Structures are given as structure tokens and as C-alpha cells.
Chain A
Amino acid sequence: GQQLNQSPQSMFIQEGEDVSMNCTSSSIFNTWLWYKQDPGEGPVLLIALYKAGELTSNGRLTAQFGITRKDSFLNISASIPSDVGIYFCAGRNYGGSQGNLIFGKGTKLSVKP
């Protein structure tokens, strides 16, 4: 089945740093989504992208829908402690067998000790 490769798997942040993560796929997606999961909670939608090349911001978060439609990027500027958690990318292809979201395995953000 379709798979998303999300990287990095984990990273440590220091307050004030910018953070970047990305997702790639061997398949084309019509929609890319980014979710954040806080400890003990379910994932919450951060940003949705609908067109190739689209760049969308939500506060300090900026995400882009890759031109090839096979990748997406999420950037967090000037990170703060509450940014820690797991970030998931998800892609959707309405022409796929299920039309459901396909999730990456997540990028875990932690605070540098």
C-alpha cells in the first residue's frame, strides 16, 4: 500500500530555534495535512494543503505542498516549549483504493536537555 516517509524521526529543540520536517511519498496526493499530538491526547489538525505549490501558515507554522505532489514540508519558527509533541504528516488521494488518509510515522520533538 501507499506509504509516507517522514523525517526526521525525532529531534531535539532549544527554545527559539527554527524546526523543519518533511514527508515524501512514491505516490501523488491531492491533499496534504499536518497534525500535532500532545502527550496523552489524540492528533489535532494544524494545517491542510490542497494544491501543488501551496504555502500556508498558521501562526509560527508554515507548511508547503510540494510541486511534484509527492512531498510536503512543515516549518516551525522560533520554537517554544509547548511545541514539543509528535507531528504527523498525512496524505489523501481521492483516487486511491480507500480514499482515506495515509499517515507518516511521525516526528517527535523534544526539548534539549
Chain B
Amino acid sequence: NAGVTQTPKFQVLKTGQSMTLQCAQDMNHNSMYWYRQDPGMGLRLIYYSASEGTTDKGEVPNGYNVSRLNKREFSLRLESAAPSQTSVYFCASSESVGYTFGSGTRLTVV
């Protein structure tokens, strides 16, 4: 009953460092998503993947890249982290209507 698993849960980066946030789902869902959550801003879509082999930009894609490695896994990469990317990142997956979210990665860029 894992659902959507995100790693790591917490991360501190220095400005300019790179890192990859990992996400895996075990529900055989076709669609996967990456969101960031900032105070007062709600959930903003960074990138999504409607199915294995496809990815598309969301509302706030700048500074990020994604890879849909297979049906289960969808990773988010920050090539050169900036303080503006300090946020909580959520991965989600869906098959029909509702999304299932992971528990988030809290990222701080100093």
C-alpha cells in the first residue's frame, strides 16, 4: 500500500548545486505530476507526464527538467538550484479523476 513514494523527504542545497527528486508509484497509473507548494500560492504544476514516454510543461517549468523513466518513475531535476526554488515539492499520479500525492520533499536552497 505504498502509493506514491518520494525521496528524499528533506534536502538542503547550496546555490548552484544540482539534484534529482525521485518519485515512484505502484498503482500502475498512466499520468504523473510534479507540483511545488509555497505559502499562499497553493499547488503549482511544474511538469507532468500524461503517459510513459511523454512529458509536458506546467505552469512553472523554468529551472526544472523531468524524466519519465518508466511507467512507475518520474523524476524532477534541478540543474542549478536557486534560492527561489526553496519549496515543498509534491509528486502525484492519477489514472482517472483524482490524484494521489506523495508526502513531499522539503527543499531549502541557501
Contact = CB atoms under 8 A, between A and B. Distances in A.
Interface of A: 1, 6, 9, 31, 33, 40-45, 48, 50, 88, 92, 98, 100-101, 103-106
Please list the 4 inter-chain residue pairs (A to B) with the smallest Cβ-Cβ separation, ordered nearest first. A42-B101, A105-B42, A45-B98, A103-B43
Contacts of A105: 40-42
Interface residues of B, number: 21
6 contacts: A33-B98, A41-B103, A42-B103, A98-B58, A100-B45, A100-B58
B41 A42 contact: no
Contacts, number: 46
A15 to B, nearest CB: 26
A76 B3 CA distance: 27
Interface of B: 4, 33, 40-43, 45, 48, 56, 58-59, 90, 92, 97-104
A42 B6 CA distance: 11
A43 to B, nearest CB: 5
Given A42-B4, A42-B101, A98-B56, 9 more contacts: A33-B98, A40-B103, A41-B104, A42-B90, A42-B103, A98-B48, A100-B45, A103-B42, A103-B43
A19 B42 CA distance: 20
A6 B40 CA distance: 11
Contacts of A41: 103-104
Contacts of B103: 40-42
A103 B104 CA distance: 17
B48 A42 contact: no
Nearest to B31: A100
B104 A42 contact: yes
A43 B45 contact: no
Contacts of A88: 42-43
A43 B42 contact: no
Nearest to A103: B43
Given A1-B59, A98-B48, A100-B33, A31 B97 contact: yes
A1 B98 CA distance: 20
